[in-house]
């Protein structure tokens, strides 16, 4: 075993001969796919509402807390990845996430008749609060701890293929929702005969096995000599506040566009179908909305790998400008599209670029800050996504309620402007990024002030 230290104090212990880096990558994908199951929360909302009588606001609040936990806990966790090690933090993430699912099952059990009828107010609220704290708060801590840890740890093993590695691992997060909603969720419901407490218990057991097996293959690359690693200026450059603000703004702006439209996918498609096929039944329109959500999820997942992998060849900034610029134009086209098929294709492309942002931004951060500082900065940048999650969907929803006839077009224009601004913002980083990826002598430790290259930023 090898010991690594920070500031003279022992920080974490890793094996002298860790697993092959591709096994580490696949383990990271499995871990993020497990955490990504939270995005399938809507699969359970209707059964929960029918069984416990909870409102859309109540079930939505649980999901919002979990998502907010991902963004804001990542800010706290980021600086500790290089100090405590990826394996330690991923185990901590698994414990929180799994405990959240077990507590959710317990909360549902309390409202399942063991204390009395679920209609009894105090029983109903007790059941809900336990579920909220378990899945939303404790599970959210697990999400925030694990997401930034897995991405930064795995990307550190692939200095030569940062885009591919980060794209694959965040694609796992997207596919985890698809797996839960279309495969494991229905299986769990069938095994439990639709008994919701038992469903969440089965889910907790399943992810306990998957996550703790995968955690045994996650190791930080600190102290490991990589033949592919070449020291760059980004590792020793001292960036100012302006760089952090610009990176945060890019994440916030593409998240506003992505989350805002994702929150409206079903009603947008139903409105389009109603105009194109006035005789279509409500059930058929709802099915069309669900189909668009499924296709958008696939686009989101594939986009995370495709665009991030492409950035290894075109460059991070060039790729960002390509997919955000073209997505901005695609949103401008949507108001004039009346064909449901063509609308679906454009939405798939647009949402793929939202996924591409999550796949590419860790590699961009790693280029500019180096792998050791990447996790802390990634955690900060993810608060931009969390902020967008707390604002974009509610604002778009209120707009749809207040201006139903105009909301869709207004939403498209807001998304187009947000992505255009993000494109301009990332362009301002082009010169600085080019400077950061330049190689330096391996033993160079002299800090480079960003002001020295500000003219190139």
Q: What is the CATH number of the domain that holds 112?
A: 1.20.1250.20
Tell me the C-alpha distance between 265 and 271, whole Å.
10
What pLDDT does 446 receive? 53
Query: Do 274 and 366 belong together in one domain?
Result: yes
What is the reported pLDDT for 416?
Answer: 96
Report CA 13 to chain centroid distance, whole Å: 28
227 in any annotated domain: no
Which pLDDT score, from 0 to 100, does residue 373 have?
85
Separation in Å, CA 414 to CA 257, 340, 354, 380: 7, 21, 15, 24
Listed residues 183, 215, 247: the one ending a domain: 215
- The answer on 202 and 260 residing in a single domain is no
Domain boundary among 215, 245, 269: 215
DSSP letter for each residue of 251-312: HHHHHHHHHHHHTTHHHHHHHHHHHH-TT--HHHHHHHHHHHHHHHHHHHHHHHHHHHHHHH
Write b or e for each residue in 250-260: b if 16 or more Cβ atoms lie within 10 A of its Cβ, otherwise e: bbbbbbbbbbb
268 & 204 share domain: no
Query: Does residue 9 lie in a domain region?
Result: no
| Residue 92 and residue 137 in one domain | yes
User: Biggest alpha carbon distance in the chain?
Assistant: 73
Asked, for residue 11, whether it belongs to a domain, the answer is no
Identify whether residues 111 and 195 lie together within a single domain: yes
Q: Are residues 272 and 200 in the same domain?
A: no
Query: Could you write out the DSSP letters of every residue in 361-411?
Result: HHHHHHHHH-HHHHHHHHHHHHHHHHHHHHHHHHHHHHHHHH-TTTHHHHH
In a domain, 33, yes or no: yes
**Is 187 within the bounds of a domain?**
yes
Please check whether residues 65 and 179 belong to one and the same domain: yes
Q: Is 240 inside a domain boundary?
A: yes
What is the rounded CA–CA span in Å between residue 107 and residue 101?
Answer: 10
**186 and 245 both lie in a single domain:** no
- 268 shares its domain with 413: yes
Q: How many domains does the chain have?
A: 2
Contact 367, 162 (CB under 8 A): yes
Q: Are residues 144 and 268 in the same domain?
A: no
- pLDDT tens digits for range 188-209: 999 999 899 999 999 999 999 9
Domain that holds residue 248: 233-456
Element (H, E) at 436: helix 430-436
Identify the CA nearest to 93 among candidates 60, 139, 51: 139
**Domain co-membership, 180 together with 311:** no
The tens-digit pLDDT sequence of the chain (457 residues) is: 444 443 334 445 555 555 688 899 999 999 999 998 888 887 888 888 888 988 877 887 888 888 888 888 988 888 888 788 888 999 999 999 999 999 999 999 998 877 887 788 888 999 999 999 999 999 999 999 999 899 888 888 888 888 888 889 889 888 888 888 888 988 999 999 989 999 999 999 999 999 999 999 888 876 454 455 577 887 888 888 999 999 999 999 999 998 888 877 777 887 888 888 888 887 787 778 778 878 888 898 899 999 999 999 999 999 999 999 999 999 999 999 888 899 999 999 999 999 999 999 999 998 898 877 888 898 899 899 888 877 877 787 778 777 777 888 888 999 999 999 999 999 999 999 899 888 776 555 555 544 444 444 4
Q: Is residue 3 part of a domain?
A: no
Q: Do residues 126 and 275 both lie within one domain?
A: no
Answer yes or no: is 75 within a domain.
yes
What pLDDT is attached to residue 16? 54
The CA distance from 373 to 244, in Å, is 12
Please say which residue of 215, 249, 269 terminates a domain.
215
Q: Are 130 and 103 in contact (CB under 8 A)?
A: yes
């Amino acid at each position: 075993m090898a010991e690594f230290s920070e500031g003279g104090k022992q920080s974490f212990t890793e094996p002298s001969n860790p697993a092959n880096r591709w096994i580490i990558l696949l383990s990271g994908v499995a871990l993020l796919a497990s955490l990504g199951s939270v995005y399938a929360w809507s699969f359970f909302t209707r059964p929960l509402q029918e069984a416990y009588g909870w409102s859309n606001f109540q079930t939505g609040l649980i999901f919002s807390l979990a998502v907010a936990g991902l963004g804001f806990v990542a800010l706290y966790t980021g600086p500790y990845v290089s100090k405590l090690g990826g394996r330690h933090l991923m185990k901590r993430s698994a414990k929180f996430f799994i405990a959240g699912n077990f507590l959710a099952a317990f909360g549902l059990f309390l409202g399942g008749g063991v204390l009395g009828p679920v209609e009894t107010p105090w029983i109903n609220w007790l059941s809900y609060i336990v579920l909220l704290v378990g899945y939303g708060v404790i599970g959210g801590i697990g999400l925030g701890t694990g997401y930034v840890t897995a991405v930064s740890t795995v990307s550190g093993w692939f200095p030569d293929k940062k885009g591919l590695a980060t794209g694959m691992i965040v694609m796992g997060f997207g596919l985890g929702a698809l797996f839960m909603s279309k495969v494991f969720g229905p299986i769990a419901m069938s095994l439990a005969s639709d008994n919701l407490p038992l469903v969440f218990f089965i889910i907790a057991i399943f992810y306990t096995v998957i996550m703790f097996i995968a955690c045994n293959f996650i190791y930080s690359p600190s102290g490991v000599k990589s033949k592919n690693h070449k020291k760059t200026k980004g590792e020793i450059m001292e960036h100012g506040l302006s760089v952090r603000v610009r990176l945060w703004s890019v994440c916030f702006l593409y998240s506003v566009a992505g989350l805002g439209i994702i929150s409206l996918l079903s009603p947008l498609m139903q409105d389009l179908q109603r105009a194109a096929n006035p005789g279509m039944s409500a059930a058929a329109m709802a099915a069309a909305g669900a189909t668009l959500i499924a296709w958008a999820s696939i686009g989101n997942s594939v986009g995370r790998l495709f665009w991030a992998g492409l950035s290894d060849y075109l460059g991070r900034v060039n790729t960002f400008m390509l997919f955000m610029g073209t997505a901005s134009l695609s949103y401008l086209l949507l108001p004039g599209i009346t064909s449901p098929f063509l609308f679906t294709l454009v939405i798939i492309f647009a949402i793929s670029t939202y996924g591409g942002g999550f796949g590419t931004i860790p590699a961009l951060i790693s280029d500019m800050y180096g792998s050791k500082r990447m996790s802390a900065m990634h955690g900060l940048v993810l608060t931009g996504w969390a902020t967008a999650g707390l604002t974009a969907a509610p604002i778009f929803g209120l707009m749809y309620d207040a201006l139903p006839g105009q909301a869709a077009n207004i939403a498209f224009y807001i998304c187009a402007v947000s992505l255009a601004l993000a494109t301009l913002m990332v362009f301002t980083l082009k010169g600085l990024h080019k400077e950061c990826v330049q190689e330096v002598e391996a033993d160079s430790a002299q800090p480079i002030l960003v002001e020295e290259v500000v003219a190139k930023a």
